Amino acid sequence: MANIKNLKAGLFQQNPTFIQVLGMCPTLATTTNAENALGMGLATLAVLILSNIVVSLIKKWVPKNIRIPIYIVVIASFVTMVDLLMHGYTYDLWKTLGLFIPLIVVNCIILGRAESFASKNSVLDSIYDALGMGLGFTGSLILLGSVRELLGNGTIFGLPIWGDAMKLYVMILPPGAFLVLGMLLAMFNSIGIHNRNKAKAGEKK
C-alpha cells in the first residue's frame, strides 16, 4: 500500500513539474512537440530509476560529507550510458534533444530524489518513488508538449487534429514554452484552490 502511495505522490500530489516546479530547463526546452517530450521524459525516467537503485544500495557506505559528489558521479555515469545508447538506437531523437541529454546530470529532480528519498529508504521503495516521480515528470512533459504541438502545428504526436485551421507558430518558439507552462500552472493552481474551498465548505456543514 505504501508503495502505491509513493507512486501516486510523484504522479499527482508532488508532481515534479507542476507542484514542485523542478527541472524546468528540459521541461521548457524539449517540449516543442509531444514526441520529443516523451523521449526526454523516458530518458530522465531511466536515469532516475537506475540512480535511485544505486544510491539506495550504497547508502551504508557513503560518508556524509562527500555524499553529493558521489551521487553526481553515479548520476553522470548513468547519463553517459543513456546518452550512448540513444546515440546508437534512436539517432534522430538524440540529435533533436542534443545538449539536453548530457544535461540530465544537472536535473534537480534526480539529485533531489537521491538526496531526499533514496539515501534514506529501501531499494524497493526507492524504485517506486523513482517510478512515480519519473512518470509524473514524463506525463507533465507530454501534456506540455501536446498542448504546444496542438496550438503551434495542429497535431499531437504527428496526428492531425485540426490540421491547418489554426497555427500559432509562436507556441513552438521559445516564448510559447514559457506562456503555455505558465497557463497550465495557473490552471492546476486554480483547480487546487477550488478543491481547497470545497473542502472548507464541507467542513463548515
Closest by Cα among 21, 61, 45 to 131 = 45
Binding site for another protein (CB under 8 A): 21-22, 24-25, 28-29, 68-69, 72-73, 76-77, 79-80, 83-84, 99, 102-103, 105-108, 111, 170, 173-179, 181-183, 185-187, 189-190, 193
Name the grid cell of 3: 508503495
Q: Which is nearer to another protein, 162 or 178 (CB)?
A: 178
Closest contact distance (angstroms) between CB of 79 and another protein is 6
Q: Provide the 8-state DSSP code for 21.
A: -
Residue written as cell 467542513?
203
Phi/psi-derived region of residue 70, left when phi > 0, alpha when psi is between -120 and 50, beta in every other case: alpha
Q: Which is nearer to another protein, 22 or 127 (CB)?
A: 22
Closest contact distance (angstroms) between CB of 184 and another protein is 9
Closest contact distance (angstroms) between CB of 100 and another protein is 8
In sequence order, the β-bridge partners of residue 160 are 155
DSSP H helical ranges for the chain: 2-8, 24-29, 34-57, 67-89, 91-97, 108-113, 123-153, 174-204
Closest contact distance (angstroms) between CB of 75 and another protein is 9
Closest contact distance (angstroms) between CB of 170 and another protein is 7
Whole-angstrom distance, CA of residue 11 vs CA of residue 139: 8
* Under 8 Å between Cβ of 84 and 91: no
Q: Which is nearer to another protein, 49 or 177 (CB)?
A: 177
